[in-house]
Amino acid sequence: MIAAVQQSFDDMGAPLSEVPFCVLDLETTGGSPADCSITEIGAVKYVGGEETGSFQTLVNPGAPIPPYITILTGITQSMVIEAPRIEEVLPAFLEFISDAVIVGHNVRFDLSFLNTDSIRLGYGRLPNRSVDTYALARRLIRNEIRNLKLQTLAAYFRSPTVPTHRALEDAKATAWVLHSLLERAGTLGVTALEDLLQLPTARGSAHYEKIRLADALPRRPGVYLFKDRGGGIFYIGKAKNLRTRVRSYFYGDTRRTVSSMLKELDTVEHRVCSSELEAEVTELRLIHAHRPRYNRRSKPPKSSHFVKLTSEKYPRLSLVRTLREDGLVYLGPYRSRRSAELVMTALWDAIPIRRCAGRPGTRGSECGFAQLGVAACPCDGSLTESEYRPTVERLVAGVERNPLFLLEPLQQKMTELAVQQRFEEAGWIRDRYQALARSLERRRAWQTLNRAGILWAETADGEGALIEQGRLTFAWSGGDRPAFYPPTGDLDAPPVSVPPSVQDAEEAHLIWQWLIRSGAVLLESSQPLHMPVARIPELHLAA
């Protein structure tokens, strides 16, 4: 039973009726742990509203108790003379607290003293989660009561124990206030620990009552869809824990877009996924299918953009929107023309590939790019095909096999500009380098997945995926891998050098990142899994 509760603690989805609470109160010689000490500890533990244990002791502070403290608490110097020091008390008290959620009225005050002594004595900061009855009362009943002092709250909720500035009595009064506040919180749908911990920061907006829309959501990975009154989907998101994520929109998120979404929100639909990878891929596919207006950053572009090496007599780089099966070299796809232009400019900086688009030999003189020495252009007819061919071959080799052919020249230019203190220009080259390196890396990952055919992979904790030519076909968790899954595509079709669309590219990137981050093990594949030997180098700028 204890292990099961602890497991629920870890994902913060434990029902409040199963959560152990340790309600505590400290009496001290003053207000700061830097120069004051604990004089008394009182605590009571509860599970499901039932008391399961109590702890009470005076503590010798090792210093005189100020008179005003004695007047306030009734604790005199003679009462603590023979009391144990905190060094003797703390180990037993930490054992009593165990893994319970710590509760106090202005609990940060109590925790500041406990953490100070705990750290000083080598136990470290208390890892326990905490609940402040002051913050809860401010959120739930602030308009019903004249102030939020413990004495006032205890009287308001008719606590049988009256706070007297003695630790155990104050802890019992705080516990009564806690359980009374939990009843109020339950009317707002707060039934689990995660809800309670977030409640004090929840905005008191006109839309807060819509938090009930998340009550039926499971605490599992998946995708959620926000719908308006007309049934239109206006936002799609993914989550490790669907219920927690949706409820978080009501907890102190002050972004204007969130307020607008909550105003429109009428229904929350969801799709449970077996793993985070499946949730990420499902979110991506749904966003591309529905194009929700609030998914601005991830909203799919109207068209894809590619950088292509043309098939002319003197090939050059060109921006195109269509991927053709013509056997030519492509890079992409890119979300915007600007992103494609950045990569093309990086290639121009790395290789003196032709830049002018006119017919070779039709100009009386070299074009401006040739005159500046940044491009080998055949515009005046002086450049032969055999002289130009090594430039094209080096570009192709850099894209297909060895990225150093393309990235080293950019690295060298950056270093030279930095040495000359032309930092702005060096920054431009840096951005181009990073864009090209990222493009080459994603191209390689896509080709690796695409050429592998059907690929089975699984992590150490049993989350697995069936990947077919760079797309997620099936996912599982808990090691429950199906014995057979029929292919959905044409495995005999020739591999595609780059993804045909932005959606395919982004999905393949998600899968590749999952394979790397999770340390997934390849179980089997229908074709060999391989990548070029030459790695994409990291960017280093000389000092």
Each residue's pLDDT, cut to its tens digit, for the chain (543 residues) gives 223 333 344 445 688 999 999 999 999 999 999 999 999 999 999 999 999 999 999 999 999 999 999 999 999 999 999 999 999 999 999 999 999 999 999 999 999 999 999 999 999 999 999 999 999 999 899 889 999 999 999 999 999 999 999 999 999 999 999 999 999 988 877 888 988 998 887 755 557 778 889 888 998 999 999 999 999 999 999 999 999 899 888 876 667 788 889 999 999 999 999 999 999 999 999 999 999 999 988 888 888 999 999 999 999 999 999 999 888 999 999 999 999 999 999 999 999 999 988 788 777 677 878 788 889 888 888 889 999 999 999 999 999 999 999 999 999 999 999 999 999 999 999 999 999 999 999 999 999 999 888 899 999 889 999 999 999 999 998 877 776 666 666 666 677 889 999 999 999 999 999 998 888 988 888 888 777 666 787 776 554
Q: Which residues contact 240 (CB under 8 A, 6 or more apart)?
A: 221, 276, 279
Distances (CA, A) of 60 to 86, 101, 102, 291: 7, 27, 23, 66
User: Angle, nearest 10°, between helix axes 404-419 and 423-451?
Assistant: 160
**Beta-sheet strands, E only, within 161-316:** 222-227, 233-239, 267-272, 305-309
| Residues designated catalytic | 165
Domains of the chain, each with CATH number or no CATH: 2-196 (3.30.420.10), 203-290 (3.40.1440.10), 305-440 (no CATH), 444-525 (no CATH)
Cβ count near 102 (within 10 Å): 20
The single-letter code of the amino acid at 70 is T
Joined tokens for residue 119: 């750290």
Angle at the Cα of 37 (from 32 to 41), degrees rounded to 5?
Answer: 110
278 CB burial (10 A radius; 0-12, 13-18, 19+): buried
Angle at the Cα of 474 (from 468 to 476), degrees rounded to 5?
Answer: 135
pTM, whole model, 2 decimals?
A: 0.73
Q: Tokens 């669309």 sit at which residue?
A: 501
Nearest alpha-carbon partner for 273 in 464, 458, 447: 464
Is there a cis peptide before residue 163, judged by omega within 30 degrees of 0?
no
Q: Can you tell me the distance from the alpha carbon of 44 to that of 28, in angstroms, rounded to the nearest whole number?
A: 18
Q: Can you tell me the distance from the alpha carbon of 135 to that of 142, in angstroms, rounded to the nearest whole number?
A: 10
Nearest alpha-carbon partner for 352 in 305, 413, 401: 413
3-state helix, strand, coil in the chain (%, to 5): 40, 15, 40
Q: Can you tell me the distance from the alpha carbon of 469 to that of 466, in angstroms, rounded to the nearest whole number?
A: 10
Q: Which residues contact 202 (CB under 8 A, 6 or more apart)?
A: 139, 208, 211, 250, 251, 252
Residue 334's DSSP bridge partners are 305
Distances (CA, A) of 482 to 1, 382, 486, 528: 32, 64, 11, 22
